Structures are given as C-alpha cells and as structure tokens.
C-alpha cells in the first residue's frame, strides 16, 4: 500500500560512473554498459505525512548491471543520525519507492536488494557543483566544475528538460573529483566522471 502523502524539495548531489553528459539522459542506455551512482540529498523543505523532513540528509549508493530500466539493481541507504525515528521512516519510505510517486516508485521497482536505512553520520556541504558528501569510512564524494581545457575557465553546462524530466528538470553538470564507496556488495570508485547538481521537487500527490 502507498505510504503517507509527501512532498519534498531537495538539493540533489549526483555522481555516476558514466562519461560527461550521461548517455541515459539521451539514448536511454549507459555508455559504460552498467550504471553505478552515489547520490546525496538534503531536504530543503518538505514533509512525509505530518512529519517535517526539512534539513534531513540521505545518501544512496546504487548499482545496476545494465541499464537502470533493465533492473537487477542493488542499493544501500544511509540516513543522517540527526534524524528522528519518524524522519528516518519517512525518508526510507520515499526513497525506497514504497510511498509511491515518481521517480522513486519506478526506480524502486528496478532494485533486487536494498540495504538500510542505516542511521549514521553524514557529512555534507551544499555548494552547487562544488558540493561534497560523505559517510565517514564508507562513502566519499567531491564534485567539481567542468573546466575548459583551452581557457582554464569554468564551464557552465546544463542538461535541461523544458517539459519536465524524470528525476530533475535542470541539472548543472560537473565532474567527480572523488567518488567512492566500500559497502558489502555496493563497492566502486570512479573519479573524473559525470556529476550533476539540481533542486527537484518530488511528491506522491495526484
């Protein structure tokens, strides 16, 4: 059964193993053959039922053996230790897809296993495509802007969906200075790959 009604706006800090541009955004299939991602979220404002989720933080490590829509994925969810039990439950319901609503209802259906929520310390700095997040000893992600090789200046590159995207409508593209996780069967490291910063709004309300 669907969970409580929710609506959240988040800082979306995204790091993936694909090349810059992320071919799934265009052709629907990863250019590396598989998809591995580390995702950090801080709730700007939002709620799950009567529970205020503003300021809560979540980190997801996930991998799929082929394209995301082909399934077979494995994920681990970390929630910051500052969250209350009700907030932990709300975040877990939303980001596992159990509460319904896109994109998490669809993404949850592509996963064969989900570990967590693991309540632990999450360190996070939100600064556009200079953001960073970590689960000490397990996850470390540092985003950095794209740099023009000729001028040495930063590039302001966006992927935009004027009619609305699946996960976000507008993402500022960066790169992964650091991207690694070591947690049981979700373990990988991919510096110098695709990264994006966005502020999507997600809800299960009609």
- Mean pLDDT in residue range 28-52: 91
**Angstrom distance (rounded) from CA 60 to CA 38:** 6
pLDDT for the residue 23: 67
pLDDT at 19: 78
Three-state DSSP at 93 gives helix
Whether the per-residue pLDDT at 49 is higher than 70: the answer is: yes
Question: Mean pLDDT across the stretch 128-141?
Answer: 96
CB 93 within 8 A of CB 48: yes
Is 24's pLDDT higher than 90? no
Q: Which residue has the higher pLDDT, 143 or 31?
A: 143
**pLDDT category of residue 2 using cuts at 50, 70 and 90:** low
- Contact predicate 170/158, CB 8 Å: yes
- Looking at residue 1, what is its pLDDT? 47
Q: Which of 39, 112, 93 is nearest to 204 (CA)?
A: 93
Residue 49's nearest CA partner among 98, 19, 7 is: 7
- Residue 129 DSSP class: B
Confidence of residue 128 (pLDDT cuts 50, 70, 90): very high
pLDDT at position 169 over 70 = yes
C-alpha dist (Å) from residue 124 to 59, 69, 86, 131, 166: 10, 29, 21, 8, 25
- Reported pTM: 0.91
Q: What's the average model confidence in pLDDT over 143-156?
A: 91
Strand residues in the chain grouped as ranges (E): 6-16, 35-48, 51-52, 57-64, 73-80, 111-120, 123-125, 132-135, 139-147, 154-155, 158-160, 170-183, 186-189, 194-198, 201-203
The per-residue pLDDT for range 54-83, each reduced to its tens digit, is 999 999 999 988 988 888 999 999 999 999
- pLDDT for res 32: 78
17 closest CA partner among 144, 197, 195, 147? 195
Looking at per-residue pLDDT, the higher value among 32 and 126 belongs to: 126
Joined tokens for residue 13: 């800090």
CA pair distance 129, 13, nearest whole angstrom? 8
> Is the pLDDT higher at 64 or at 91?
91
Measured CA to CA, the distance from residue 139 to residue 122 in angstroms comes to 9
Q: What are the b/e assignments for 67-89, b being 16+ CB within 10 Å?
A: bbeeeebbbbbbbbeebeeebbb
């Amino acid at each position: 059964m669907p969970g409580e009604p929710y609506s959240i706006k988040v800082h979306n800090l995204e790091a993936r193993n694909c090349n810059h541009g992320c071919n799934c955004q265009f052709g629907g299939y990863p250019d590396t053959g598989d998809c591995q991602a580390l995702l950090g979220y801080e709730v700007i404002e939002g709620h799950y039922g009567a529970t205020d989720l503003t300021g809560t933080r979540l980190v997801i490590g996930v991998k799929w053996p082929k394209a995301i829509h082909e399934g077979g994925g494995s994920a681990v969810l970390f929630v910051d230790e500052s969250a209350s039990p009700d907030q932990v439950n709300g975040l877990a319901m939303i980001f596992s897809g159990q509460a319904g609503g896109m994109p998490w209802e669809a993404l949850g259906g592509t996963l064969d296993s989900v570990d967590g929520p693991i309540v632990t310390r999450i360190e996070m700095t939100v600064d556009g495509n200079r953001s960073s997040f970590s689960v000490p000893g397990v996850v470390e992600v540092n985003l950095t802007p794209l740099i023009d090789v000729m001028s040495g200046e930063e590039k302001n590159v966006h992927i935009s969906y004027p009619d609305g995207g699946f996960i976000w409508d507008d993402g500022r593209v960066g790169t992964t200075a650091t991207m690694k996780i070591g947690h049981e069967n979700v373990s990988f490291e991919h510096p110098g790959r695709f990264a994006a910063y966005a502020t999507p709004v997600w809800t299960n309300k009609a």
